[in-house]
Structure formats: structure tokens, C-alpha cells
Amino acid sequence: RVYVALQNRDHQFRIRSENGYVSGKTSKGRFGLSIASLGDTNKDGFDDIAVGAPYDGPNSNGIVYILLGSKNGIKPEYSQTIKAEDIADPGLRTFGYSLSGGMDVDSNTYNDLLIGAYYSDRIVLMKARPVANVTATLTTTKDNVNLEDRDCTTSDGNRALCVTIKVCLSYSGVGVDNRLGNFYFCSYCYIFLC
């Protein structure tokens, strides 16, 4: 179990009754053996942390848990779990024994994470990728649809109700690759109801 103490305006540390701790899921997984500040990984204005559990996981090879910050402290649910088995190194053991975060080694404005596995005598560099926010809009040509209207003709000559739907997608984000330029994609779908 990892306890989270927040400092108040009077510079006193308090453990809140809610969101005051985060627990591991596996007995003897050693959740909390290592902890690292990651900085604000998802660019929401709150710092996030990584917690190591070097004997956790399906084969007890270790898991690193990513926990996001919020205005109320650390959220108790994990936003991501990184298992030793997820890494392309079959001999990795005690993954998460040591952690070091808060540095941006690839200059993409997102902090990366070093994960140590002492039993395997290895470290793993996990590079954070930019978070893209995708926005979708859906509009129709008609505000109200009368199911009795048959204002179109299908390719086989039947009268049908026609509705045009416009779907648009755009994305944004800090450090998001601009390969697509100012990406804004719209597609029109024609729906025939016979």
C-alpha cells in the first residue's frame, strides 16, 4: 500500500481519508517498493507517479503502475500497467525494482521513465508518446425526419427516405506530431431507409 500525503496551505502534510492511499493487487508483489514522480504526463496540470511492484504479475516478474494526479491527489485507479511480459525481453525479472522519472530524453515535451530490474541486471527506458485529443462531430441535413417521406430513389428504382450524415474528426495536443498539418477530416454518408 502506498500512502499519499498532500501538503496544505499551512505547509502541513495530511493524508486524506478518501484518495489517501493506493493498494497493490497481489499479495507479496511488493507494490510501492519503488516510486517515481513522472511530472505531468497527460498535460492536465497535475503531476503523476509510477509505482513499482517487482514481484507482481502473472509470472511474478514485476509490474509498474502509472497513477494520474488530480486536484484531490492521486487517483486510486491505475491509468496504465506495464508488465515485464509486455517488454520484448523474455529474461526480465524484478521489473520495477527501481524507477527514475521526470526527464524528457527524446525532447517531445513528455517525461520518460527508466525502470530497473536488478535481478536481470537491466534497465528499460519507456519513452512517453504525445497524447492526442480527438474531437468528433456528427450532423445531419435534417433536424426532424418524417419516416413517411420518400424523397429519394435508390439505384434499383425504389422510393426511399434519404438522410445525409456528416461526420468530422479533428485532433490536437501538446507535442502531437503535425505530419497531417491542420487535420480536419469530414465524410458524408447517405442513408436510405426503404
Whole-number mean pLDDT of the chain? 86
Is residue 15 over pLDDT 60? yes
Instruction: Name the phi and psi angles at 141, rounded to 5.
Output: -80, -15
Q: How confident is the model at residue 12 (pLDDT cuts 50, 70, 90)?
A: confident
pLDDT value of residue 193: 61
User: 129 Cβ partners below 8 Å, 6+ apart?
Assistant: 108, 110
Residue 6: what pLDDT?
78
Cα(63)–Cα(42) distance, integer angstroms: 20
Q: Residue 69's CB: how many other CB atoms inside 10 A? A: 21
8 Å CB contact between 172 and 182: no
Which tens digits make up the pLDDT trace of 23-54? 888 889 999 999 999 999 888 899 999 999 99
Note the Cα 119 to chain centre separation in Å.
29
pLDDT of 25 reads 84
Query: Would you call 178 helix, strand, or coil by DSSP?
Result: coil
Total Cβ atoms within 10 A of residue 72: 12
**Rounded Cα distance, 189 and 154, in Å:** 14
